[in-house]
Structure 1
Amino acid sequence: MQFSAVQRILGVLLMLFSLTMLPPVLVSLWYGDGAVSAFMIAFVLLLMIGAVSWILVKDQKRELRLRDGFMVVVLFWSVLGLAGSLPFTLAEHPHLSLTDSVFESISGLTTTGATVIVGLDDLPRSILYYRQQLQWLGGMGIIVLAVAVLPMLGIGGMQLYRAETPGPMKDSKLTPRITETAKALWFIYLSLTLACALAYWVAGMSLFDAIGHAFSTIAIGGFSTHDASMGYFDSTLIEVIAVVFLLISGANFALHFIAFRRRSPGVYLQDSEFRFYLTILVLVSLVVSISLYAMGAYGNWNEAFTKGIFQAVSIGTTAGFTTADYSVWPGFIAIVLLFSSFIGGCAGSTGGGIKVIRSLLLIKQGLREITRLIHPSAQIPIRVGEKTISRRVVEAVWGFFALYVASFTFMYLGLAMTGLDLMTSFSAVAASINNLGPGLASVGTNYASINDSAKWILCFAMLLGRLEIFTLLVLLTPAYWRK
């Protein structure tokens, strides 16, 4: 392990992250909300820590290996969660405890959207903006952004990209050079953000709300500038815009890149994962809408339909925006919605969950095993579209699923040990590891009421989900540390 090279990377990345404290400073000055000092102190501290870390090892020019890349990714997300908590701790309103500050920061950066803050409508505008910005930065992964910048500083990035990129097919690149790949992804990401903000603004949001909600929509984060989330605006048009951009952001960004390059929207329908993704969301939307109407949750079909579709897409893509408190809906509907978040978005998207491609491969593998019981000698390949999936990929997906279930079980038991009821424990772990946000029972609207021990377990769950299990757990294996 090249600790000096890892330290050098972390120093540079912390200096870069310190710059993200400056936009909230400008927002605070513009609105005069009195939170300037919290962000300025955080900026200076992070800049100094990053600079000192870098200066001490600045002459180390070794190229990172893949093993080092995993360490950088895990350490940076962990350190970043702590660094991002500084403004919440330093601000007078809200003045959060260390545990709550770290929880809010990690929730934002991992695009989970679980919050411990009550009374969002009364917060300083700069704090509200900062929460949204955290999600936007975390949406595509700050490491991917850094990969586009660090090569100019003489630091290679391919290992980081392979360690960070979500999905089972990590070695695929959109362009021959990783720097160009990262730039292409961020160009698409930024373009979608601008388009979403403009659409929200035209639909009636204030410019501040439009930018903030565009950040969390494209990041599939779920943070809002209001306690009532999207329900605050009470606008069907805004809900439609949110659904459209959530669907786009939940798709594989590689598809967006290919469709843009070929000028052909037909690329989407040719992709098996995207078709399965749409099919799941359509089915969940119909089941929820029909159930809401049949069970009398809403008096008319139009309201049941609009509420059902919005919650189904928002929770199915793991965004976590709400226009109604789904945790108080009939139990069947709430569980269906929560379970849809386990599938989540497509690989290579800003969504969470197991990912659609993995779910599709698990289903295909299960069906193949059933067929093998009938025809033991048959050679039955697993195909996604016209491509035959290698045995290595299928094994990796099953390995991921096994670790996912095991991790979920241990954290579920851990939360139950802290004294939380079983439904709260189950839904809180599900909402955190899937990067969803709102759960059921005591965590249906926020996480302010649960104990500190549970919050730290959920912080680990959010990181585990964001780094897709393997990247984090690989550091806990003896084989990783052997020379």
Structure 2
Amino acid sequence: MLPPAFISLVYRDGGGVSFLMAFIFCLVAGITAWYPQRNEKGDLRAREGFLIVVLFWTVLASFSAIPLMLLETPNLSITDAFFESFSGLTTTGATILTQIDGLPHAVLWYRQQLQWLGGMGIIVLAVAILPMLGIGGMQLYRAETPGPVKDSKMTPRIADTAKHLWFIYVGLTVACTLSYWGAGMTMFDAICHAFSTIAIGGFSTHDLSMGYFQSPLINFICVFFLIIAGVNFALHFAVLNSKSLRAYFYDPEFKVFILIQLVLTLICFAVLMSYGIYQTGFEAFDQALFQAVSISTTAGFATTSFADWPTMLPILLIFASFIGGCAGSTGGGMKVVRVLLLYLQGVRELNKLVHPKAIFTIKLGKKALPNRVVEAIWGFFAAYAAVFVICMLLLLASGVDDITAFTAVAACLNNLGPGLGEVAANFAPLGDFSKWVLIVAMLFGRLEIFTLLVLFLPAFWRA
């Protein structure tokens, strides 16, 4: 909370006092909680690991709401402050704010910074922490990928793993910042948008999002870094470690991820051209490429209101966000590798109908996967669908229309951001009850469903 306080001193447009007060409150609360237990030592068990992972987002996002509640501009209710902070830290990118261009620079920086820190937390969680607990997409990933990432951790020590991830993450952020700056953004906008791009968050410092800049070059830079951030960061490490790009082309998840982006872009381009929405083919392709990658990777940046496109396209892109990015990336959704395995399992079942006595195995690359992995994927898919249905029904019960309820839950559970209907622009029109339901959906999506669901089991709390 100190960087935004410093930003307020630089730009002198307010907000600094609120962040300083929140900093002091957090410092006192932290010392009060830590001091009585400062001499306690002990190894963490898996149960404590699950609890820490959940508390990482719930506690930090709750404390992150404090300065937003103290600010005079914008003047937010407790519900809105929590919604904005949880949306930021979980990199969802859904916002209740309007007239963003007129907000103090400290507030604009803080929102982007929340997403950047949340993105780093996601990577460390997925690549370094969850494999030690025996859950998460990385369990699948190390079964399919050649090289050093086959192990449960990229490096023998967890601290080294986190350090390597930080180097990659910070390096990409710096490269993205310089690219945006060179393309015409101010340094402030470049840093802020680099934060939310590498985190695949979607917050912007302008109401028009990326459309504010009206620059095809900036759009392309954003697309380029979104694709990089949507790839498994352990795969980036493998490439850097081997000093060869071959690891990308050997990875089946990466190939499917790129294929999805290409197919979505071509479909959007073809439909936009057939409807004659844009004057030139270049403009249509620019918009198609940007929106397809932005929505399917769950970033949620916008250059135009994609809700105004022919109905097929926004619905297609919303469904694409259920796939999301690769395992171990900052993207949301169910992850490409899980959807790929569901497809391969479907093909296997069809083959069994034709050849009932034959034995078919599911392979990723050249490696056969055990049935328990496929069973876990089906369990995850069932839980994902159940959480989606329950959250949607709760929104419908609160009086929200069906299109808004469906896309709002999809946007929050997939950590996407924008929806359709009443939430096409922002989530301010929703009532407090609906916002709290969507906050829970953000947590479920960010914590890979099972990580949060396991806390509701009575067996979890037994000694």
Q: TM-score range by the shorter chain?
A: over 0.9
Q: Distance in 2 between matches of 1:135 and 1:479?
A: 34
Maintained 8 Å contact 2:93/2:201: yes
| Aligned twin of 2:140 | 169
| Aligned twin of 2:215 | 235
- Alpha carbons of 1:203 and 1:161: their partners in 2 closer, same or farther (altered >3 Å)? farther
| Aligned twin of 1:371 | 351
1:169 maps to a residue whose letter is L
Q: How far is 1:482 from its partner? A: 2.5
| Aligned twin of 2:429 | 449
Q: How far is 1:226 from its partner? A: 0.2
1:407-461 C-alpha deviation (Å, 9 max, x unpaired): 1000010000110000000000000000000001111110011111000000000
Of 70, 85, 88 in structure 1, the residue corresponding to residue 50 of structure 2 is 70
1:385-413 C-alpha deviation (Å, 9 max, x unpaired): 01111212111111000000011000010
Q: How far is 1:163 from its partner? A: 7.5
Q: How far is 1:299 from its partner? A: 3.1
Maintained 8 Å contact 1:107/1:113: yes
Of 243, 247, 250 in structure 2, the residue corresponding to residue 267 of structure 1 is 247
Q: How far is 1:272 from its partner? A: 0.3
Q: Secondary structure at the match of 2:205?
A: coil
| Aligned twin of 2:293 | 313
Q: How far is 1:376 from its partner? A: 1.3
Q: How far is 1:468 from its partner? A: 0.6
1:471 maps to a residue whose letter is T
| Aligned twin of 1:154 | none
Please list, as runs of the form range in 1=range in 2, the aligned pairs for 1:249-268 lying within 5 A after superposition: 249-268=229-248
| Aligned twin of 1:40 | 20
| Aligned twin of 1:102 | 82
| Aligned twin of 1:289 | 269
Q: Secondary structure at the match of 2:140?
A: coil
Please list, as runs of the form range in 1=range in 2, the aligned pairs for 1:363-402 lying within 5 A after superposition: 363-402=343-382
- Alpha carbons of 1:258 and 1:143: their partners in 2 closer, same or farther (altered >3 Å)? closer
Maintained 8 Å contact 1:143/1:161: no
Of 388, 402, 416 in structure 2, the residue corresponding to residue 436 of structure 1 is 416
| Aligned twin of 1:153 | none
Maintained 8 Å contact 2:318/2:407: yes
Q: Distance in 1 between matches of 2:134 and 2:363?
A: 25
2:320 maps to a residue whose letter is S
| Aligned twin of 1:338 | 318
2:35 maps to a residue whose letter is I
Q: Distance in 2 between matches of 1:348 and 1:466?
A: 12
- Alpha carbons of 1:168 and 1:447: their partners in 2 closer, same or farther (altered >3 Å)? farther
1:196 matched to 2:176: yes
Maintained 8 Å contact 1:111/1:222: yes
| Aligned twin of 1:280 | 260
Maintained 8 Å contact 1:166/1:467: no
Q: Secondary structure at the match of 2:303?
A: coil
- Residues 48-57 or 354-363, more deviating: 48-57
Of 32, 35, 40 in structure 2, the residue corresponding to residue 55 of structure 1 is 35
Maintained 8 Å contact 2:231/2:329: yes
Maintained 8 Å contact 1:113/1:320: yes
TM value normalised by structure 1 = 0.91
| Aligned twin of 1:222 | 202
Aligned length: 453
Q: Percent identity?
A: 55
1:57 maps to a residue whose letter is Q
1:409 matched to 2:389: yes
1:176-212 C-alpha deviation (Å, 9 max, x unpaired): 1111111111110000000000000000000000000
Maintained 8 Å contact 1:25/1:36: yes
| Aligned twin of 2:451 | 471
- Alpha carbons of 1:158 and 1:463: their partners in 2 closer, same or farther (altered >3 Å)? closer
Q: How far is 1:76 from its partner? A: 2.6
Q: Distance in 2 between matches of 1:212 and 1:423?
A: 31
1:290 maps to a residue whose letter is A
Q: Distance in 2 between matches of 1:385 and 1:372?
A: 21
Q: Secondary structure at the match of 1:169?
A: helix
1:92 matched to 2:63: no
- Residues 291-300 or 105-114, more deviating: 291-300
Q: How far is 1:94 from its partner? A: 0.5
- Alpha carbons of 1:448 and 1:454: their partners in 2 closer, same or farther (altered >3 Å)? same
Q: Secondary structure at the match of 1:174?
A: coil
1:402 maps to a residue whose letter is A
Maintained 8 Å contact 1:111/1:135: yes
Q: Distance in 1 between matches of 2:129 and 2:213?
A: 43
Structure 2: gaps of 5 or more residues: 142-150
Q: Distance in 2 between matches of 1:317 and 1:472?
A: 23
- Alpha carbons of 1:282 and 1:420: their partners in 2 closer, same or farther (altered >3 Å)? same
Of 363, 380, 401 in structure 2, the residue corresponding to residue 421 of structure 1 is 401
Q: Distance in 2 between matches of 1:414 and 1:365?
A: 32
Q: Distance in 1 between matches of 2:216 and 2:257?
A: 24
Aligned-residue CA RMSD (Å): 1.7
Q: Distance in 2 between matches of 1:311 and 1:269?
A: 25
TM value normalised by structure 2 = 0.95
Q: How far is 1:303 from its partner? A: 1.4
- Residues 170-179 or 473-482, more deviating: 170-179
Q: Distance in 2 between matches of 1:218 and 1:403?
A: 28
Structure 1: gaps of 5 or more residues: 1-20, 148-156
Q: How far is 1:166 from its partner? A: 4.9
